[in-house]
Amino acid sequence: MKKLEFPPGRTLICGILNVTPDSFSDGGKWASVEAAAARALELEAQGAELIDIGGESSRPGSAPVPLEDEKLRVLPVLEALAGRLRIPVSVDTCKPELARLAVKAGADIINDITGFISPAMIEAAAASGAGAIIMHMQGEPRSMQAAPVYGDVVSEVRTFLAERAAALAKAGVKRIILDPGIGFGKTLEHNLALLARLAELRALGYPVMLGVSRKKFIGTLAGGEPDERLSGTIAACVAGAANGADIIRVHDVRECRRAMLVADAIRAARK
Ligand code: 8Y4
């Protein structure tokens, strides 16, 4: 199993590989599997240090995907990639059966946007020997953006992540990454507070992943459709890196990698 390494002072890039039907639909099943595998190799060549593969659209308002559909989307791509990548792969799923099968098919890390609240997901991570990305979400994708409410969003997210990390560690999961879940049951103000105070999450002692790429709060602040949000994405990633993010999860790997090379160099010159 491949393991993510965290060289001090470097912000790693996680490239997003969506394998939902809308992402690779033309040309039938084999063509779409090969296209997805080729995209993963391209993200690696562009400087990704981790690939996050997901077959369930977790956008606000989206409906759950049946297990069989998610399996048919994700597993063939992992199988097609076996032995072809030098970097680890995470699987974005909250279904324990898929998580186990994905690790058997070559995934190294389980990325659960529901934060391993299900004991079966904790068990899947523990039994498979995979690492775990614990993300915070308030509510569920279908309804989470209705009216999210917190007292202090940063301390509530920190308390949740600390509790889930303790449960995973107790079950024997070794490689744990925390993620504040930007946009998952959060208003603009909540997202900004989490970005500004990321250091409070990092203080828990685990690496922190940050997912801001093309998200709605960037459109709210700077305008633009998702494919016009690269500048805002880079600004948020630079701010996140300055505040201690260890990994950024992004669509635009080449551009964000260049931004992190500059941001990390400036951080290294701090006295
Ligand atoms: C355009 C395209 C606009 C996609 C928004 C989006 C995170 C995550 C997602 C995250 C972790 C997304 C699976 C949402 N976000 N996993 N997953 N952290 N760990 N929306 O922030 O990319 S999906």
Q: Is 249 a catalytic residue?
A: yes
Give the pLDDT mean for 75-99: 98
Q: Which of 71, 215, 229, 257 is catalytic?
A: 215
| Distance separating alpha carbons of residues 125 and 188, to the nearest angstrom | 32
**pLDDT tier at 38 (50, 70, 90 boundaries)?**
very high
Contacts of 96 by beta carbon, 8 Å cutoff, 6+ apart: 118, 120, 121, 123, 124
Q: How far is CA 165 from CA 60, 133, 168, 203, in A?
A: 25, 9, 5, 13
Q: Which of the listed residues 12, 14, 50, 92 should we mutate to test ligand 1's pocket, taking the one with most ligand atoms within 8 A of CB? A: 92
User: CATH assignment of 12-269?
Assistant: 3.20.20.20
User: Among the residues of the chain, which ranges form H helices?
Assistant: 28-45, 67-81, 96-104, 119-128, 153-171, 188-196, 198-202, 216-222, 230-242, 253-268
Nearest residue by C-alpha to atom 16 in ligand 1: 113
| Distance separating alpha carbons of residues 154 and 164, to the nearest angstrom | 15
CB 127 within 8 Å of CB 100: yes
Where does residue 120 rank: exposed (0-12), middle (13-18), buried (19+ CB within 10 A)? middle
pLDDT at 23 over 90: no
Which amino acid is located at 144 in the chain? M
pLDDT at 57: 80
pLDDT at 22: 79
Nearest residue by C-alpha to atom 13 in ligand 1: 92
Residues within a 6 A CB radius of ligand 1: 54, 58-59, 92, 111, 113, 133, 135, 179, 181-182, 209, 211, 214-215, 226, 249
pLDDT at 144: 77
pLDDT at 21: 85
| Distance separating alpha carbons of residues 32 and 167, to the nearest angstrom | 38
pLDDT at 24: 72
Give the pLDDT mean for 169-193: 98
**pTM of model > 0.95:** yes
Between 148 and 47, the more confident residue is: 47
| Distance separating alpha carbons of residues 18 and 268, to the nearest angstrom | 33
pLDDT at 58 over 80: no
- Per-residue pLDDT reduced to its tens digit, 191-207: 999 999 999 999 999 99
Q: Which of 249, 254, 267, 271 is catalytic?
A: 249
Give the pLDDT mean for 220-246: 97
CB 252 within 8 Å of CB 232: no
The rounded Å distance from CA 95 to ligand 1 centre is 17
pLDDT at 146: 81
- Per-residue pLDDT reduced to its tens digit, 209-223: 999 999 999 999 999
Q: Is 229 a catalytic residue?
A: no
